[in-house]
């Protein structure tokens, strides 16, 4: 592994996240994958280890607002289970809107419990008819005195039903187009806010993916995040911040598959020798390791840029998410190949890793959308440098 110059604290975070994952998640991951049981047990262990507030400032009960430290933990958790990894990371996705746009009051009300791991958060943007094209959303927030009345259904919301705190985007003024959306903080249990069906998924099966249903849900204006009309800005700035986390999840899944493939190749004997001595296998392993390291380097560099206070991280965040998730897909499929028929079986973990990897190419913006974004950023940069 490259030397990334981790501080002593960062090494501690990495080692602790690994230790907790190996002790609390590894023995359960196959069962949770099979049953879809939500991994509360694991989340409680991460909470007890002080790992839930790595991206949250100390004054709000966190461990110091570090994107990099959050990525380190997400990577190590995902290395053992991608489903637990996304559950951990989606709480950040739901919290970042509050951290970026919340008032002091909102932050003090919601962040300490999330930092302590007592509560989870979730982020509701997607709808049945609004995926990549988020602007096509149909959930409305109609102003009524000091309140907004929400109606509509959000779809495929990670941590839906399990989280207590929800950052939700809805249309507050259709006539204003992209400036007509607003972001709100909702709490589980508010009248008019219920949960719809829980999805049965290909991978990350222990994570909860569920509908949020709003029927005349009355939300006080104090729950508005940022200004009225800032909904899409909240969403886009949030995703810029969290895409490196998806990159870290992808790197973790890929590293987990590489670990398994290496170990297996040294043990599996065919033609009278371990298959790790066959050059064809060595080359697969070499490519896997090189790709994982390149993805990690990109994710870490991007996370460090965030921590250094960079204003515009859209381009590197998209690149990190795109590259790492494509690497995760390729490396996990290669790991199955190294394990041969055993890799295809559920007794070994690599088929699950490949199923888990696939989602990283889809959520928080599909990889096609990332490429659109990257190209757009490049063209904009060139145009502005010519001025």
Partner 1 sequence: MDIIVCIKQVPDTTEVRINPETNTLIREGVPSIVNPFDENAVEAALQLKEKHGGKVTVITMGPPQAAEALKTTIAMGADEVVLVSDRAFAGSDTWATSYTLSQTIKKLGHYDLILCGKQAIDGDTAQVGPGIAEWLNIPQVTFVSKVEINGATAKVERMLEEVNEIVACPLPAVLTVVKQMNEPRLPSLKGMMRAKKAEVKMMNAAQIEGDPKNLGLNGSPTSVVRIFTPKAKGNGEILTGEPAEIVDKLLGKLKERKTI
Ligand X SMILES: Cc1cc2nc3c(=O)[nH]c(=O)nc-3n(C[C@H](O)[C@H](O)[C@H](O)COP(=O)(O)OP(=O)(O)OC[C@H]3O[C@@H](n4cnc5c(N)ncnc54)[C@H](O)[C@@H]3O)c2cc1C
Chain positions contacting ligand X, by CB under 6 A:
90, 123-126, 131-132, 156-158, 201, 209, 268, 270-271, 275, 278, 280-281, 337-338, 340-342, 344, 359, 362-366, 368-369, 372
Among 30, 44, 50, 371, binds partner 1 (CB under 8 A): 50
Quote the CA–CA distance of 179 and 176 in Å, as a whole number: 5
Choose the one of partner 1, ligand X, none that binds residue 333, judging by a C-beta under 5 to 8 angstroms depending on kind: none
At its nearest, how many Å lie between ligand X and the CB of residue 199?
A: 7
Burial 153-167 (b: 16+ CB within 10 A, else e): bbbbbbbbbbbbbbb
Among 6, 16, 262, 294, binds partner 1 (CB under 8 A): 16
By CB under 8 A, residue 63 contacts partner 1: yes
Quote the CA–CA distance of 14 and 77 in Å, as a whole number: 9
Choose the one of partner 1, ligand X, none that binds residue 318, judging by a C-beta under 5 to 8 angstroms depending on kind: none
Quote the CA–CA distance of 215 and 223 in Å, as a whole number: 17
Note whether 183 and 167 are within 8 A (CB): yes
Let me know if 371 is exposed, middle or buried by CB neighbors in 10 A (0-12, 13-18, 19+): middle
Is residue 138 part of the annotated active site? The answer reads no
H or E element in which residue 155 lies: strand 147-158
Helix (H, G, I), strand (E, B), or coil: what is residue 290? Answer: helix
Closer residue to ligand X in complex, CB, 156/184: 156
Give the number of other CB atoms < 10 A from CB of residue 313. 19
By CB under 8 A, residue 7 contacts partner 1: no
Q: Number of residues in contact with partner 1, rule: CB under 8 A?
A: 14
Among 2, 5, 8, 309, binds partner 1 (CB under 8 A): 8
Closer residue to partner 1 in complex, CB, 72/206: 72
At its nearest, how many Å lie between ligand X and the CB of residue 341?
A: 3
At its nearest, how many Å lie between partner 1 and the CB of residue 108?
A: 21
Note whether 303 and 244 are within 8 A (CB): yes
Give every CB contact of residue 387 below 8 A, 6+ residues apart in sequence.
Answer: none
At its nearest, how many Å lie between ligand X and the CB of residue 124?
A: 5
Quote the CA–CA distance of 244 and 261 in Å, as a whole number: 25
Positions in 30-49 near partner 1 (CB under 8 A): 45, 48-49
Question: Which single residue brings its beta carbon nearest to ligand X?
Answer: 131
Choose the one of partner 1, ligand X, none that binds residue 13, judging by a C-beta under 5 to 8 angstroms depending on kind: partner 1
Closest CA to 101 of 224, 188, 218: 224
Quote the CA–CA distance of 6 and 17 in Å, as a whole number: 15
At its nearest, how many Å lie between ligand X and the CB of residue 10?
A: 27
Q: Name the active-site residue from 67, 75, 260, 364.
A: 364
Task: Kindly list the distances between the CA atom of residue 282 and the CA atoms of 265, 271, 295, 318, in Å, as whole numbers in the listed order.
Answer: 9, 16, 20, 31
Choose the one of ligand X, partner 1, none that binds residue 9, judging by a C-beta under 5 to 8 angstroms depending on kind: partner 1
Question: Active-site residue numbers?
Answer: 364
Which residue ranges make up the site for partner 1 (CB under 8 A)? 8-9, 12-13, 16, 19-20, 23, 45, 48-51, 63
């Amino acid at each position: 592994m490259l030397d990334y110059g981790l501080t002593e604290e960062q090494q501690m975070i990495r080692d602790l996240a690994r230790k907790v994952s190996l002790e609390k998640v590894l023995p359960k991951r196959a069962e949770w994958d099979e049953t879809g049981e939500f991994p509360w047990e694991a989340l409680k262990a991460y909470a007890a280890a002080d790992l839930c507030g790595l991206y949250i400032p100390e004054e709000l009960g966190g461990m110091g607002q570090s994107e990099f430290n959050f990525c380190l933990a997400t990577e190590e958790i995902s290395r053992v289970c991608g489903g637990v990894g996304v559950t951990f990371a989606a709480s950040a996705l739901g919290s970042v809107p509050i951290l970026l746009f919340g008032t002091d009051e909102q932050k003090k009300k919601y962040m300490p419990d999330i930092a302590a791991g007592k509560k989870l958060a979730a982020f509701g943007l997607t709808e049945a008819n609004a995926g990549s094209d988020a602007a096509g959303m149909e959930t409305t927030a109609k102003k009524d005195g000091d309140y907004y009345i929400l109606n509509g259904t959000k779809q495929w919301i990670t941590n839906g039903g399990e989280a207590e705190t929800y950052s939700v985007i809805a249309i507050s003024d259709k006539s204003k187009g992209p400036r007509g959306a607003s972001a709100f903080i909702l709490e589980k249990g508010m009248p008019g806010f219920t949960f719809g069906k829980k999805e049965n998924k290909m991978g990350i099966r222990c994570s909860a993916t569920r509908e949020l249903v709003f029927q005349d849900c009355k939300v006080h204006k104090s729950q508005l995040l940022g200004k009225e009309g800032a909904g899409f800005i909240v969403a886009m700035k949030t995703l810029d911040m969290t895409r490196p986390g998806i990159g870290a999840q992808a790197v973790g899944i890929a590293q987990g598959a590489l670990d398994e493939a290496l170990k297996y190749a040294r043990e599996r004997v065919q033609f009278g020798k371990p298959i790790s001595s066959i050059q064809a296998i060595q080359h697969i392993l070499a490519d896997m390791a090189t790709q994982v390291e390149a993805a990690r380097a990109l994710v870490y560099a991007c996370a460090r840029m965030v921590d250094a206070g960079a204003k515009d991280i859209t381009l590197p965040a998209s690149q990190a998410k795109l590259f790492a998730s494509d690497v995760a897909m390729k490396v996990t499929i290669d790991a199955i190949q190294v394990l041969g028929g055993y890799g295809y079986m559920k007794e070994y973990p690599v088929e699950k890793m490949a199923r888990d990897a696939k989602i990283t190419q889809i959520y928080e913006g599909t990889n096609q959308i990332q490429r659109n974004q990257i190209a757009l950023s490049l063209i904009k940069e060139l145009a502005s440098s010519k001025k």
